């Protein structure tokens, strides 16, 4: 009788049952302990009704600004540099006298958008004219005078023999590990900042040169002195020692904006034409075949020292009209630059770059240059010729 009566009663909804259960648990003493133990008080930043903080006792005190991460949308002030020369990616591997015939990318400044007060022309950032006139090679003569005055003011009186020997001894490998490496790209723009950073701690810095730039070491020394206003006091093979000057002040160092990426090289005219000037098509083809069959004069190592390459080619032209240089393993752009330097320094005519070889021809009316000795292996600067000859004789005796 009881079961049917219970079944006939109306069942209460689920929500009412849950509310009654909660009320029962909250009233029990064990439930209050659990609630106190597991209760969570949200912080003021997450609570819907934040608590009112006490007023600042010092309202006039300047508060530290909140940290804000850097953003590319922020307005960046353009850096102004008073250096009297055009900014290029490489100063030894590019020439202002050679005009490119095209660009491989839009004229995006490698210094970053709005970070430099000079306009990027696709090749350089000119110091005087923001237009493309400086690419033509016609440099303002006032810049040359300004560079000479600035360099003379920094250098001061020349070094004595004892001072130069002391600085050279301090830059030896057994005395210091400070060194700047000059590689296949030559003297780059950011390397100027590295040189000034080294000059903070020492009067002279050692520079190790390897790669394509070592074909013309005279140009490397000239560009180093022209762009840093320093002085090369020793040259031994691919090692240079660059002196900062007597009146150099690291606190007044020039402002050198850094390049954020390497720009694409522009398009230059072809080095090798279809036919060599003065020869027919058949004669040009025959000369290229003979050039590839000639025994190699030397084999160039990758990122090696090529300072003796020009004298070797000049000596070989006294006997043979064609010279082949084996460049197996080198980058194509590297041995093209080497061939371009040989064409201007020897001088000679480029025949072909096929099969990773450099084949050059001395020309029809070849006359050996008067300065047969191209560049000494070891040379002191700022001193009489007797010191240079003495150092050369000592090197020759050591080689023998």
DSSP assignment string, 280-318: -HHHHHHHHHHHHHSPEEEEPPTT---TTHHHHHHHHHT
Where is average pLDDT lowest: 28-32, 152-156, 190-194, 217-221? 28-32
Where is average pLDDT lowest: 44-58, 169-183, 272-286? 44-58
- Whole-number pLDDT of residue 3: 45
- Whole-number pLDDT of residue 79: 84
pTM, two decimals, is 0.72
359: how many CB neighbours lie within 10 A of its CB? Answer: 25
| pLDDT digits 0-9 by tens, 294-350 | 999 999 999 999 999 999 999 999 999 999 999 999 999 999 999 999 999 998 999
Structure-token match 């040359």, residue found: 144
- Whole-number pLDDT of residue 368: 78
- Whole-number pLDDT of residue 338: 95
Query: What band does 146 get if pLDDT is binned at 50, 70 and 90?
Result: confident
- Nearest-Å Rg of the Cα atoms of the chain is 37
Look at residue 270 and give its three-state secondary structure: coil
Q: How far apart are CA 43 and CA 51, in angstroms?
A: 9
Strand 204-209, strand 180-182: pairing: parallel
Q: How far apart are CA 107 and CA 195, in angstroms?
A: 28
Q: How far apart are CA 38 and CA 33, in angstroms?
A: 9
- Whole-number pLDDT of residue 6: 44
Q: How far apart are CA 119 and CA 53, in angstroms?
A: 53
Provide the percentage of residues in the chain whose pLDDT is more than 70.
Answer: 74
List phi, psi (to 5°) of 87.
Answer: -85, 125
Judged by phi (left if over 0) then psi (alpha if -120 to 50, else beta), residue 7 lies in alpha
Angstrom CA distances, 156 to 65, 159, 183, 248, 300, stand at 47, 9, 31, 9, 41
Contact 323, 294 (CB under 8 A): yes
- Whole-number pLDDT of residue 221: 94
pLDDT over 60 at 291, yes or no: yes
pLDDT over 50 at 397, yes or no: no
Mean pLDDT along residues 233-256: 92
| pLDDT digits 0-9 by tens, 45-81 | 666 665 555 566 777 777 888 888 877 666 778 888 8
DSSP state for residue 241 in the 8-state scheme: E
| pLDDT digits 0-9 by tens, 208-233 | 999 999 999 999 999 999 999 999 99
102: how many CB neighbours lie within 10 A of its CB? Answer: 8
- Whole-number pLDDT of residue 127: 83
pLDDT over 90 at 207, yes or no: yes
Q: What is the mean pLDDT of the chain?
A: 80
| pLDDT digits 0-9 by tens, 195-206 | 999 999 999 999
Provide the percentage of residues in the chain whose pLDDT is more than 90.
Answer: 47
Count of alpha carbons within 13 Å of 284, Cβ hemisphere only? 14
Q: Which H/E stretch holds residue 231? A: strand 231-236
Angstrom CA distances, 275 to 46, 325, 347, stand at 80, 21, 18
Query: What band does 379 get if pLDDT is binned at 50, 70 and 90?
Result: low
The residue count of the chain comes to 400
Structure-token match 């990122």, residue found: 303
219: how many CB neighbours lie within 10 A of its CB? Answer: 18
pLDDT over 60 at 392, yes or no: no
- Whole-number pLDDT of residue 399: 43
Nearest to residue 169, comparing CAs of 209, 214, 203?
203
Q: How far apart are CA 147 and CA 145, in angstroms?
A: 5
pLDDT over 80 at 372, yes or no: no
Nearest to residue 187, comparing CAs of 210, 155, 204?
210
Contact 84, 211 (CB under 8 A): no
Mean pLDDT along residues 135-140: 48
Q: Which ranges constitute the DSSP H helices of the chain?
A: 2-8, 14-27, 29-38, 141-155, 161-170, 189-198, 217-228, 281-293, 309-317, 332-345, 385-399
């Amino acid at each position: 009788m009881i079961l049917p009566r219970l079944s006939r009663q109306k069942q209460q909804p689920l929500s009412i049952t849950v509310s009654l259960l909660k009320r029962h648990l909250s009233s029990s003493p064990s439930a209050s302990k659990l609630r106190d133990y597991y209760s969570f008080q949200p912080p003021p930043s997450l609570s819907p009704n934040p608590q009112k903080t006490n007023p600042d006792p010092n309202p006039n005190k300047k508060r530290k600004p909140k940290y804000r991460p850097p953003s590319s949308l922020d307005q960046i002030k353009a850096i102004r540099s008073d250096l009297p020369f055009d900014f290029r990616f490489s100063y030894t591997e590019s020439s202002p006298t050679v005009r490119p015939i095209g660009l491989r990318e839009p004229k995006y400044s490698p210094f970053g958008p709005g970070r430099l007060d000079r306009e990027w022309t696709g090749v350089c950032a000119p110091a005087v004219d923001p237009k493309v006139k400086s690419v033509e090679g016609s440099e303002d003569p006032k810049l040359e005078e300004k560079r000479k005055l600035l360099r003379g003011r920094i250098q001061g009186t020349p070094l004595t023999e004892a001072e130069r020997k002391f600085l050279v001894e301090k830059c030896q490998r057994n005395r210091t590990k400070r060194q700047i490496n000059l590689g296949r790209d030559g003297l780059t723009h950011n390397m100027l900042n590295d040189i000034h950073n080294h000059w903070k701690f020492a009067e002279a810095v050692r520079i190790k040169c390897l790669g394509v730039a070592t074909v013309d070491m005279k140009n490397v020394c000239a560009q180093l002195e022209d762009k840093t206003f320093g002085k090369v006091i020793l040259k031994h093979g691919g090692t240079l020692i660059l002196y900062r000057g007597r009146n150099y002040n690291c606190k007044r160092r020039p402002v050198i904006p850094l390049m954020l990426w390497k720009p694409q090289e522009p398009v230059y005219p072809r080095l090798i034409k279809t036919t060599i000037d003065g020869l027919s098509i058949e004669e040009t083809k025959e000369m290229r075949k003979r050039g590839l069959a000639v025994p190699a004069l030397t084999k160039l190592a990758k990122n090696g020292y090529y300072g003796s390459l020009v004298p070797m080619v000049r000596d070989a032209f006294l006997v043979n009209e064609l010279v082949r240089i084996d460049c197996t393993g080198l980058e194509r752009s590297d041995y093209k630059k080497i061939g371009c330097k040989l064409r201007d320094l020897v001088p000679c005519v480029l025949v072909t770059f096929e099969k990773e070889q450099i084949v050059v021809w001395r020309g029809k009316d070849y006359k050996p240059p008067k300065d047969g000795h191209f560049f000494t292996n070891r040379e002191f600067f700022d001193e009489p010729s007797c010191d240079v000859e003495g150092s050369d004789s000592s090197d020759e005796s050591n080689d023998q």
